[in-house]
Amino acid sequence: MLSSVILATAFQILPFYEQRPTEDYYALRPLCSTEGEATDVLWPVFTSHRDWWRFCYVVNWQRYPETADGYQFSIVPFWFNGRDEEKGAYWGLFPIYGEHPHIGMMTDFKFALWPLWHRYRMPRGREWMTSNAVLFPFFSWRSDGAWSVWPLYGLNLQRESDHRYALWPIVTWASYREDRDTAGEGSSWMVWPLYGRVRRARESQDMVLPPFFSVATAWSRRSPDDGPAHSGPDSIRVRCPWPFFEYESTPSRRRISVWPLYERVANLSYTDGSETAVVTRFGWKLVELYDDETRVFPFWSSRRDDTHFRLWPLWESERKGDVTHGRFLALFPIRWVPAVDRNWSKFWTFYENDSCPLYTDHSLLWGIIRWRTLK
């Protein structure tokens, strides 16, 4: 084996300073670092990117690239302000007053002395539905006719179903209309915590002491022209009792769970029902056995194609293309988090190597000693 000693360069000084001009990478640890469009200052205190920055995950600013002056600034959860292309400027001082053009699925969200009053819109097909609430969650009503006096009585109208409750959650019931995207026409009801049942065109379920004991079956219909569902159910789910035991079998997957000891999930082929991907878990998700990867959190993970290997907290390697990068130690329990690698991992990484088909470059004690071995 041929090796040659390579002296440390000016681009790295122990774990504190590192610069890679060709990769647009700079780090003065633990004060600051820059990689591409990302900049950290005392991470996780401050991080910025091309279109956003955040401070302590509380103060946030984001620019909306689709407009020249669109942005949003927020101090969670008390203050937000910004500018939207369609709505113009907006602001809010929670819980006093505010209006926001988009929050999650809600559009034109407005509030005053929340939870005293709020209002928002949501798309419903080709129309818009307006929802209002006073003393949320006690009194609410919507433009489609739904309303609620919680927990006494409530009516919720959806595209394919109507849902009601009385003395929530004790008594709930619903009626369903035929719809190609759901289980079809039928009804359901539940008297919690005693019993509940669902009877629909392509679904049947009985629940005892819900949600602990239930048996659900479903039938598939290939297209609206195929007529009624065929006689035998092609999907079944049994919980006895949930969450400790659950069995599920559908045309797309098969699952058995004895929580928290054991779980096996198999994805099935639609053509012949064969298993296309299988994962087996022990101890909830502490041990996971995939077709192409084995994980024992946080101590061990490895892929069959050798693109990743981890023996925590000692060693970690990752292959991209023809180059494999390895390091010792690997104390952080989650693999290859860019911000951790830029700002902190060098302090406990005493040895690294980069291996390609022709040679391997080694770095010991933060680059003080470097050498190359040929293969």
Judge if 168 and 238 occupy the same domain: yes
Q: How far is CA 108 from CA 84, 138, 158, in A?
A: 11, 22, 21
Q: How far is CA 123 from CA 78, 106, 111, 126, 205, in A?
A: 27, 9, 19, 7, 31
Judge if 238 and 167 occupy the same domain: yes
Residue 59 lies in a domain: no
Q: Which residue type sits at 51?
A: D
Torsions phi, psi of 66, nearest 5? Answer: -70, -15
Judge if 202 and 258 occupy the same domain: no
Q: Which parts of the chain register pLDDT below 70?
A: 1-10, 65-67, 221-232
Residue 196 lies in a domain: yes
Judge if 196 and 258 occupy the same domain: no
Query: What confidence score (pLDDT) does residue 67 get?
Result: 64
DSSP string, 196-243: EEEEETTEEEEEETTTTEEEEEE---SSGGG-SPPSS-SEEEEESSTT
From 181, 210, 242, give the residue that closes a domain. 242
Judge if 160 and 238 occupy the same domain: yes
- CA torsion, points 266, 270, 276, 282, in degrees to nearest 10? -10
Are the beta carbons of 51 and 63 closer than 8 angstroms? yes
Are the beta carbons of 72 and 81 closer than 8 angstroms? yes
Query: What confidence score (pLDDT) does residue 168 get?
Result: 95
Query: What confidence score (pLDDT) does residue 2 get?
Result: 39
Judge if 275 and 204 occupy the same domain: no
Judge if 203 and 280 occupy the same domain: no
Are the beta carbons of 266 and 275 closer than 8 angstroms? yes
SS3 343: helix
Query: Model pTM?
Result: 0.76
Residue 340 lies in a domain: no
Query: What confidence score (pLDDT) does residue 231 get?
Result: 53
Residue 48 lies in a domain: no
Which tokens is 350 given? 């005493």
Query: What confidence score (pLDDT) does residue 232 get?
Result: 60
Residue 165 lies in a domain: yes
Query: What confidence score (pLDDT) does residue 272 get?
Result: 84
Distance CA 303, CA 282 (A): 18
Query: What confidence score (pLDDT) does residue 66 get?
Result: 61
Residue 159 lies in a domain: yes
Surface-to-core class of residue 222, CB atoms within 10 Å of its CB (0-12 exposed, 13-18 middle, 19+ buried): exposed
Residue 210 lies in a domain: yes
Surface-to-core class of residue 334, CB atoms within 10 Å of its CB (0-12 exposed, 13-18 middle, 19+ buried): exposed
Judge if 176 and 237 occupy the same domain: yes
Judge if 166 and 215 occupy the same domain: yes
Residues sharing a CB contact under 8 Å with residue 143, sequence separation 6 or more, in sequence order: 128, 129, 130, 131
Distance CA 212, CA 193 (A): 10
Residue (of 166, 132, 163, 141) closest to 151 by Cα position: 166
Number of domains in the chain: 2
Judge if 175 and 238 occupy the same domain: yes
Residue 71 lies in a domain: no
Judge if 200 and 180 occupy the same domain: yes
Task: Identify the domain containing residue 278 by its residue range.
Answer: 250-291
Query: What confidence score (pLDDT) does residue 223 get?
Result: 44
Judge if 191 and 213 occupy the same domain: yes
Query: What confidence score (pLDDT) does residue 69 get?
Result: 80
